[in-house]
Amino acid sequence: MFKTNIKTLFKEIRSIPLESADPDLLAHISFGFRNLLILAYTMPWVTETLGDEAAPPCTYSAHDGGVRQARQRT
């Protein structure tokens, strides 16, 4: 359930048009994204548990033996 809620939250945040977002919303998104990046870099199991939605833009992955480049999200 937790995993599903987090993935849904990521999808909803990605769908927000940032051009029309107010400064308060942008600040909250930036703060939350910063915290998720810190978690993803310091605790790799977060990315493994939550999937690509929680992955930093470019990470070293022990599973693929190299750098995984950011995918373009459309």
3-state secondary structure of 61: strand
Please state, in angstroms and rounded to a whole number, the distance separating the CA atoms of residues 18 and 70: 19
Q: Is residue 29 part of a domain?
A: yes
Phi, psi (degrees; rounded to nearest 5) at 17: -75, 110
Query: Which pTM value belongs to this model?
Result: 0.43
What is the residue whose two structure tokens read 């977060």? 46
* 73, part of any domain: no
Domain with 62, as residue range(s), is 2-68
User: Which residues of the chain have a pLDDT value below 50?
Assistant: 59-74
* The predicted structure's pLDDT at residue 55: 63
Determine the pLDDT at residue 35: 78
In a domain, 48, yes or no: yes
**How many structural domains compose the chain?**
1
Q: Is residue 18, in this structure, part of any structural domain at all?
A: yes
pLDDT at residue 53 in the model: 65
- 54 lies in some domain: yes
Flag whether 74 is in a domain: no
Residue pair 2/10 in contact by the 8 Å Cβ criterion: no
